[in-house]
């Protein structure tokens, strides 16, 4: 009987004394190995038993049943140094009163299931599961140190019923981090953690003041560019207002048709097919207001085609001057936005390369892909899944080659691996176009 039990647990250093099945799972009574030497002074053979009690340790579930190990925890007293000690236990994580194999199992499971589920299957409480997950995530964070980007993107992502702040490397098209919210304090704290913050030259963002305040405070040397797509989207919103305003003048049938045709109106003029152009001209021909709003939307997009700041300044001023009569109210929000973010909008025309957050869509796809069954997961789990279970974009620094002597040989670095730069989560597999 005893031999059979010993093999059952696969913990060879422990003696299994007894086993019993109860309603709450399987219980084993086990005896840890006796210490060889005193853990205080190291003297061998002078330790004597000094009292004992049973302490419950959790172990891996077996056949879907929770497992509790009742470990006979002994105290010893040393005749050499007079101190008492409790020997450390092989294969156990003493802080959490569980086996190492259970600890590793929880680390893995917490990435793939809600905390409550992992807690339920193992018999641990949720707090313990969360704690183990947190430690693992911290370890992964320390392991994956992302390079500081030259062009930093700050954007938002709607995830698990809230807007989250996301940080990206615009040049490498990678994801660097997600924050639980978009509050200024949190953004400031995160930006402060960026190593070598002076390396950030440009920050692209949507028109969200807390982001701007945070960057001005923490990265004062960096230039801020407002993200083009967030601005031009507002021109579409204005056009939508005109379209909806027409509803009272239409029959029910026309109303439905116009609603179906809204996508054509929101398209750029150069993306419209001949067939779509006919449909659109039917509407704009019947409603001059719609035509002038459509043209004004297109003119706003064209501002972004300017090749320098001076032209863009002029085009914008003209665009504001020439708002179609009777549409002041409709374009009001956009006019206000471009005046509040004037400098940041104009900086777009002064950077070496066009800077936009255009690839944010691929982050949406990554979020969906990683959190398909998102309910029940905490933000930390979703974040860790997105950051640490996806391929990272890495570039190894090859040894420089001398044009005179061939490959440089530096004996001290020979045994070291090539220095590797990690630019963050590679989003290229999540692009569609």
Interface with Zn ion (CB under 5 A), residue from 17, 29, 35, 40: 40
**Shortest Cβ distance from residue 46 to Zn ion (Å)?**
6
Residues 49-78 binding Zn ion (CB under 5 A) are 78
**Nearer to Zn ion among residue 38 and residue 218 (C-beta):** 38
**Shortest Cβ distance from residue 36 to Zn ion (Å)?**
12
Terminal Cα-to-Cα distance of the chain (whole angstroms): 65
**Shortest Cβ distance from residue 49 to Zn ion (Å)?**
14
Residues 76-135 binding Zn ion (CB under 5 A) are 78, 80-81
**Nearer to Zn ion among residue 50 and residue 158 (C-beta):** 50
**Shortest Cβ distance from residue 40 to Zn ion (Å)?**
4
**Nearer to Zn ion among residue 46 and residue 295 (C-beta):** 46
**Shortest Cβ distance from residue 44 to Zn ion (Å)?**
10
Interface with Zn ion (CB under 5 A), residue from 9, 11, 26, 38: 38
Binding mask 237-266 for Zn ion (x = CB under 5 A): ------------------------------
**Shortest Cβ distance from residue 41 to Zn ion (Å)?**
3
Stretch that binds Zn ion, among 30-38, 90-98, 248-256, 271-279 (CB under 5 A): 30-38
- The answer to whether residue 48 forms part of the interface with Zn ion (CB under 5 A) is no
Stretch that binds Zn ion, among 34-42, 173-181, 224-232, 419-427 (CB under 5 A): 34-42
**Shortest Cβ distance from residue 92 to Zn ion (Å)?**
22
- The answer to whether residue 41 forms part of the interface with Zn ion (CB under 5 A) is yes
- The answer to whether residue 36 forms part of the interface with Zn ion (CB under 5 A) is no
Cβ atoms of 156 and 182 within 8 Å: the answer is: yes
Measured CA angle at 181 (ends 180, 186), to 5 deg: 95
**Shortest Cβ distance from residue 87 to Zn ion (Å)?**
12
**Nearer to Zn ion among residue 37 and residue 358 (C-beta):** 37
User: Which tokens belong to 58?
Assistant: 């959790």
Residues that bind Zn ion (CB under 5 A): 38, 40-41, 78, 80-81
């Amino acid at each position: 009987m005893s031999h059979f039990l010993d093999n059952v647990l696969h913990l060879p250093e422990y003696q299994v004394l007894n086993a019993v099945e109860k309603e709450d799972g399987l219980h084993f009574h086990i005896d840890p190995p006796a210490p060889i030497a005193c853990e205080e002074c190291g003297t061998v053979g002078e330790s004597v038993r000094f009292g004992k009690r049973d302490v419950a340790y959790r172990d891996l579930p077996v056949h879907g049943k929770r497992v509790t190990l009742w470990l006979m925890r002994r105290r010893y007293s040393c005749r050499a140094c007079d101190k008492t000690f409790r020997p450390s236990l092989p294969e156990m994580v003493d802080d959490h009163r569980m086996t190492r194999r259970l600890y590793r199992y929880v680390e893995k499971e917490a990435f793939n299931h809600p905390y409550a589920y992992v807690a339920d299957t193992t018999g641990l409480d949720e707090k313990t599961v969360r704690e183990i997950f947190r430690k693992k995530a911290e370890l992964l964070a320390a392991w994956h140190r992302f390079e500081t980007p030259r062009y930093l993107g700050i954007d938002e992502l709607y995830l698990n019923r809230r807007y989250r702040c996301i940080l990206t490397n615009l040049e490498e098209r990678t994801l660097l981090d997600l924050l639980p919210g978009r509050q200024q304090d949190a953004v400031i704290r995160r930006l402060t953690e960026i190593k070598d913050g002076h390396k950030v030259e440009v920050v692209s963002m949507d028109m969200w003041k807390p982001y701007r305040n945070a960057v001005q405070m923490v990265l004062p040397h960096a230039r801020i560019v407002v993200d083009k797509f967030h601005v031009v989207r507002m021109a579409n919103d204005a056009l939508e207002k005109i379209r909806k305003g027409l509803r009272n003048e239409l029959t029910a049938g026309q109303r439905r048709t116009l609603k179906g045709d809204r996508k054509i109106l929101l398209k750029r003029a150069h993306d419209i097919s001949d067939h779509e152009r006919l449909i659109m001209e039917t509407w704009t021909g019947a409603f001059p207001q719609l035509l002038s709003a459509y043209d004004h939307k297109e003119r706003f997009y064209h501002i972004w085609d300017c090749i320098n700041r001076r032209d863009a300044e002029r085009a914008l001023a003209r665009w504001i001057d020439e708002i179609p009569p009777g549409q002041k109210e409709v374009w009001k929000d956009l006019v206000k936005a471009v005046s509040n973010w004037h400098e940041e909008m104009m900086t777009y025309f002064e950077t070496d390369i066009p800077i936009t957050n255009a690839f944010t869509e691929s982050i949406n796809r990554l979020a969906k892909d990683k959190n398909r069954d998102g309910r029940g997961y905490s933000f930390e789990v979703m974040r860790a899944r997105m950051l640490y279970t996806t391929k990272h974009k890495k570039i190894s620094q090859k040894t420089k080659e001398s044009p005179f002597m061939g490959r440089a040989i530096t004996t001290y670095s020979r045994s070291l691996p090539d220095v590797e730069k990690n630019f963050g989560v590679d989003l290229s597999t999540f692009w569609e176009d």
